[in-house]
Amino acid sequence: MATAFSALGLSEPVVKALDELGFEQPTPIQQKSIPFLLDGRDLLAQAQTGTGKTAAFGLPLVDRSDPQDARVQALVLAPTRELAVQVCEAIHTYSKHSGVRVLPIYGGQPIDRQMRRLRAGAQIVVGTPGRVLDLMRRSSLDLTALRTLVLDEADQMLDMGFIEEVQTILDAAPPERQLVFFSATLPASIRKLAARHLRTPMTLTMPAEERDTPAIAQRVYFVNFKNRAQALTRVLAAEDPASALIFTRTKQAADELAEQLQDDGHRAEALHGDLNQSAREAVLGRFRRQQLNVVVATDVAARGLDIADLSHVINYDLPQDGESYIHRIGRTGRAGRSGVAISFALPTDRYRLRLIERATGSTLVPAKIPSAGEIQVRRTERLVEQLRRQLQADESDPNLVLYREVVGQLREEFDLGDIAATFLKLAQQRPGSTGSG
């Protein structure tokens, strides 16, 4: 059993759910915040996506909810529909054995259905500020029994202009409620809101060196406007990413780049605000199912988006500032897996690059755009790696009998080393055989 979680004070049904999920050890943010939140205290926590923040606030919410009481006891506000759904799904898995009901509410879905579901009863509601307020005004969402209110990605919520909705919801909650803020960054606006509403909170901030996730390799390529597209093509060829999220500044650039990448043979699509909700979800679905390996997105469209195992985040256009940079690259290198964050900097970007480095406390390592020869070397390395994995795994594969026979026949004519080398050459000439797994 995941006993380290019991030691934090979590109940047996929750620990059992974590055990089934394969969580063995609490992450640092979970370690610090769970006992405190179980105690009903207010918290202001700086934590990015990938730190285990959802469980940090979600687990105490489940344990502090009374399944016998059908009223809403906890409300989580999230900036986007995608994040609301993702947080709701996470809490749903944690509450599997607790008998607690979790409900997502967000715009874009018929409000009647959400009203019906609320009437049926839910202890935890996760929603976007606009729809939450709408349902409160229709007297469908009643906060009188609310014990905990969580703001997830609070900085994004304010960036997206939800301050008034958030204020109204905060004011409508019972005065004795527990209040919890999670935010990737702590700009003045968040600190001000916290100072106004939180009562003797614990503040968890991360020193720059902890924030700068070591699992993420951060590189920068200096390019000019003319050679940037070709530089990206080469970097992608050398990296062969399993799943890359590429950021552009504008929708038009996202469309153009996605098209160029398709021409290059990538399974790429654009994701931006001009696509309606269902088209956006369809793109995300294909990305998650790995039918796409590249998505080109604008910041707005990518907000709150969760995709596990993202291998690369690429800033084709540099983000506006350090906060936005942290948000973008937080999507790779999750839960201890390694990730790569690549940025392209134009000659006019040098100042902004320094600002980003200063704001994040990290260094972006300058890298050389790979040559055709280097790309070839990388492809070969991947092929050899793939071969090695297969050799280790397939020793007893009955299908190999047939191939061994073929090799046996060839050996009567040729040298074994020559056979293997020639076969590798052929394998590499085959399109799509770069060995990305």
The least distance separating ligand AMP from the CB of residue 149, rounded to whole angstroms, comes to 18
Distance (Å, rounded) from C-alpha 12 to C-alpha 352? 49
253-292 positions binding ligand AMP, by CB under 6 A: none
Span interacting with ligand AMP, options 50-58, 109-117, 292-300, 345-353, rule CB under 6 A: 50-58
The least distance separating ligand AMP from the CB of residue 262, rounded to whole angstroms, comes to 29
Span interacting with ligand AMP, options 19-27, 97-105, 204-212, 369-377, rule CB under 6 A: 19-27
Distance (Å, rounded) from C-alpha 257 to C-alpha 260? 5
The least distance separating ligand AMP from the CB of residue 58, rounded to whole angstroms, comes to 8
Distance (Å, rounded) from C-alpha 156 to C-alpha 323? 10
The least distance separating ligand AMP from the CB of residue 362, rounded to whole angstroms, comes to 19
- Does residue 23 interact with ligand AMP by CB under 6 A? yes
The least distance separating ligand AMP from the CB of residue 53, rounded to whole angstroms, comes to 4
Of the two residues 111 and 307, which places its CB atom closer to ligand AMP in the complex? Answer: 307
Q: Among 53, 211, 228, 327, which residue interacts with ligand AMP (rule: CB under 6 A)?
A: 53
**Per-residue tokens: 261:** 């990448």
The least distance separating ligand AMP from the CB of residue 302, rounded to whole angstroms, comes to 14
SS (H, E, C) the chain: CCHHHHCCCCCHHHHHHHHHHCCCCCCHHHHHHHHHHHCCCCEEEECCCCCCHHHHHHHHHHHCCCCCCCCCCEEEECCCHHHHHHHHHHHHHHCCCCCCCEEEECCCCCHHHHHHHHHHCCCEEEECHHHHHHHHHCCCCCCCCCCEEEECCHHHHHHCCCHHHHHHHHHHCCCCCEEEEEECCCCHHHHHHHHHHCCCCEEECCCHHHHCCCCEEEEEEECCCCCHHHHHHHHHHHHCCCCEEEECCCHHHHHHHHHHHHHCCCCEEEECCCCCHHHHHHHHHHHHCCCCCEEEECHHHHCCCCCCCCCEEEECCCCCCHHHHHHHHCCCCHHHCCEEEEEEECHHHHHHHHHHHHHHCCCCEECCCCCHHHHHHHHHHHHHHHHHHHHHHCCCCCCHHHHHHHHHHHHHHCCHHHHHHHHHHHHHHCCCCCCCC
Span interacting with ligand AMP, options 43-51, 146-154, 286-294, 358-366, rule CB under 6 A: 43-51
Q: Among 10, 33, 36, 50, which residue interacts with ligand AMP (rule: CB under 6 A)?
A: 50
374-413 positions binding ligand AMP, by CB under 6 A: none
Distance (Å, rounded) from C-alpha 273 to C-alpha 323? 21
Q: Among 33, 51, 148, 434, which residue interacts with ligand AMP (rule: CB under 6 A)?
A: 51
Span interacting with ligand AMP, options 46-54, 139-147, 200-208, 368-376, rule CB under 6 A: 46-54
- Asked whether 345 and 220 are in contact (CB, 8 A), the reply is yes
307-326 positions binding ligand AMP, by CB under 6 A: 308
The least distance separating ligand AMP from the CB of residue 95, rounded to whole angstroms, comes to 14
- Does residue 54 interact with ligand AMP by CB under 6 A? yes
- Does residue 335 interact with ligand AMP by CB under 6 A? yes
Question: Residue 399 is which amino acid?
Answer: N
- Does residue 27 interact with ligand AMP by CB under 6 A? yes
Span interacting with ligand AMP, options 53-61, 160-168, 320-328, 413-421, rule CB under 6 A: 53-61
Of the two residues 37 and 173, which places its CB atom closer to ligand AMP in the complex? Answer: 37
Span interacting with ligand AMP, options 32-40, 52-60, 139-147, 380-388, rule CB under 6 A: 52-60
Of the two residues 208 and 335, which places its CB atom closer to ligand AMP in the complex? Answer: 335
- Does residue 26 interact with ligand AMP by CB under 6 A? yes
Of the two residues 90 and 220, which places its CB atom closer to ligand AMP in the complex? Answer: 90
The least distance separating ligand AMP from the CB of residue 216, rounded to whole angstroms, comes to 14
Binding residues for ligand AMP, rule: CB under 6 A, are 23, 25-27, 30, 49-55, 308, 334-335
